[in-house]
Structure 1
Amino acid sequence: MRKKQKGWAKDMAQQRIIRLFELADHEFKAHPERSNRYVQLARRIAMRYRVRIPQELKQKVCKHCHAYLVQGVTARTRLQDTHITTTCLVCGEQMRRPY
C-alpha cells in the first residue's frame, strides 16, 4: 500500500513541476517575476518529493540565482570550441555544457 502511494505522489509531483514550467513560459512576457516564482515552487516540489526536474526544463533555470532563463532576455548563449556557454543576464554567472 505504501509503495503505491509514494509512486503516485512522485508522479503527481512530476506533473506539477512540468505544469509550473509551462506556466512560467506562458507568463514570462507579462510577469517575469511570476515566472521566477513558478520555478522556485517547482524546485521546492522536486526537493520535497525527491523527483528530478527533466533535463530540458533544468536548462531553463540559472544554476546560481535560479532565475527563469529566456534566450535574448535573461540569457545569452554562445558556442565555444568544446562547449556551449549560457550566461545569465540577471546575475552574470556562466553555465557550461558540452556539445
Structure 2
Amino acid sequence: MAKRHQRSDRRQIAGERVRILFIQASRFFPENPVWSDRCVALARRIAMKERIRMPHELRRQFCRSCYRFFVPGVTVQTRIHKSRVVVTCMACGYRRRYPLYRNKP
C-alpha cells in the first residue's frame, strides 16, 4: 500500500517541478535563451520519467520538434489562417496548427 502512495506523491512533486521549470525558463530567456531551452528539456524528461502528462497550458510553450522555449515575436511566429492558429518555430520552421474555435456539442 505504501508504494501506491509513494508513486502519487512522486507524480505530484514532478508536476510541481515541471511548472517551476517553465517559470524559470521565462525568467532566464532575456538573460540567456539557452538556459530556458535547457529548462524545457529538463521539464520534459521529468514528465516522461514519472509518466505524467504535460499540463495543457505548458504544452504550447515549446516546439515539439526542437524543444525550443517559445517567446512570441522572438522564437515563435503566430498567425491566423482559415480559422486556425498557425504557430511557427523560428528556429526549425516546424508548424503547429490549432483550431481557432472549438466545436460545442
TM-score interval for Structure 1 and Structure 2 normalised by the shorter chain: over 0.9
Report what 2:44 is aligned to: 43
Question: 2:35 aligns to what SS in structure 1?
Answer: helix
- After superposition, the C-alpha distances for 1:35-68 in whole angstroms (9 at most, x for unaligned) are 0000000000000000111111110110111100
CA RMSD of aligned residues (A): 0.6
Structure 1 unaligned spans of 5+: none
Question: Which residue of structure 2 aligns with residue 55 of structure 1?
Answer: 56
In structure 2, what is the equivalent of residue 27 of structure 1? 28
- Over the matched positions of the two proteins, sequence identity in percent amounts to 37
The match for 1:3 is 4
Tell me which residue corresponds to 2:86.
85
Amino acid at match of 2:36: S
**1:5 counterpart letter in structure 2:** Q
* Aligned-residue offset at 1:82: 2.3
One-letter code aligned to 2:48: M
Gaps of 5+ in 2: 101-105
Q: How many residues align?
A: 99
**Paired AA for residue 11 in structure 1:** Q
Query: Which position in structure 1 is the counterpart of 2:17?
Result: 16
Q: What is the TM-score normalised by the length of structure 1?
A: 0.98
**Deviating runs (4+, > 3 A) in structure 1?**
none
What residue in structure 2 maps to residue 69 of structure 1? 70
Letter in 1 for 2:37: N
